[in-house]
Amino acid sequence: MRAQFPRGWLWVGDDSDDLTPEWTRAAYPFEHVHTDILGDRTTQLVPRRAVVQHAVQSGSGGSYFVQLGASLRPDSPDELHLEVAEASGQSGLDRVLVTAVREGARAGAARCTVAGRLRLDRALVHLVDCKPARYHQAAQLLVRALAHPDLLSLAAPELAALAASLWQDA
């Protein structure tokens, strides 16, 4: 399901959504996965995935575009493995964006207790309008959204409200 929020959208789905354009469009080849392991986790959730897009267009140099996607799998009962894939080519997350995404993911994970394997491996990067701080914000939103216990059952207006709130709070 895709829900609009101011200047962006959040798409959520499960394993049955492999061919959804929001999920497949942002895939990129990667050569290395950076992993952070956080312990003392208690919340197990069903597999889920999400993609967030947010953009601002202005003539003053304040423009940006960010699209980032992640999946959560219940692979670990008491740890959260945060994985960020570094692109092997021109598309996807480069080293600078990987750093921003890892920091954002850790910030989001500090505010929840979800366990499992959360992999951030989907991104569309527009080099002209690329702001690492926005990728940090998007990663934090994704981790917190994927940790929401009722994420897959929210109606579109509730999902939009959640996305707007998490974007403002990140």
Range of the domain at 38: 14-151
| pLDDT classification of 146: cutoffs 50, 70, 90 | very high
Look at residue 167 and tell me if it is in a domain. no
Looking from the CA of 70 toward its CB, the CA atoms found within 13 Å total 30
How far apart CA 50 and CA 23 sit, in angstroms, is: 8
Q: Convert 52-71 to b/e letters by CB count within 10 Å (16 or more is b).
A: bbbeeeeeeeeebbbbbbbb
Task: Determine the average pLDDT of the residues in 139-162.
Answer: 98
pLDDT tens digits for range 75-117? 999 999 999 999 998 889 999 999 999 999 999 999 999 999 9
Question: Residues 95, 140, 147, 92: is their CA dihedral positive or negative?
Answer: negative
Count structural domains, the chain.
1
- CA 26 → CA 14, 48, 53, distances in Å? 16, 16, 11
Distance from C-alpha of 66 to C-alpha of 46, rounded to nearest angstrom: 26
Whether 97 is covered by a domain: the verdict is: yes
Is residue 141 domain-resident? yes
Pairwise CA distance, residues 124 & 138, whole Å? 12
Please report, for the domain that includes residue 81, its CATH number.
3.30.230.10
User: Does residue 60 lie in a domain region?
Assistant: yes
142-to-13, 31, 50, 90, 156 alpha-carbon distances in Å = 13, 22, 7, 23, 17
Tokens of 168: 């403002």
| pLDDT given for residue 26 in this prediction | 87
Return all residues near 152 (Cβ < 8 A) that are at least 6 apart: 12, 13, 14, 46, 48
Let me know if residue 163 belongs to a domain.
no
Asked if 6 and 56 touch (Cβ cutoff 8 Å), the reply is no
- The answer as to whether 99 is a domain residue is yes
Q: Is residue 4 part of a domain?
A: no
Do the domain assignments include residue 105?
Answer: yes
Query: Distance (Å, rounded) from C-alpha 142 to C-alpha 138?
Result: 6
Residue 136 has pLDDT above 90, yes or no: yes
Using one digit for the tens of pLDDT, what is the confidence trace for 29-81? 998 999 999 999 999 999 999 999 999 987 766 789 999 999 999 999 999 99
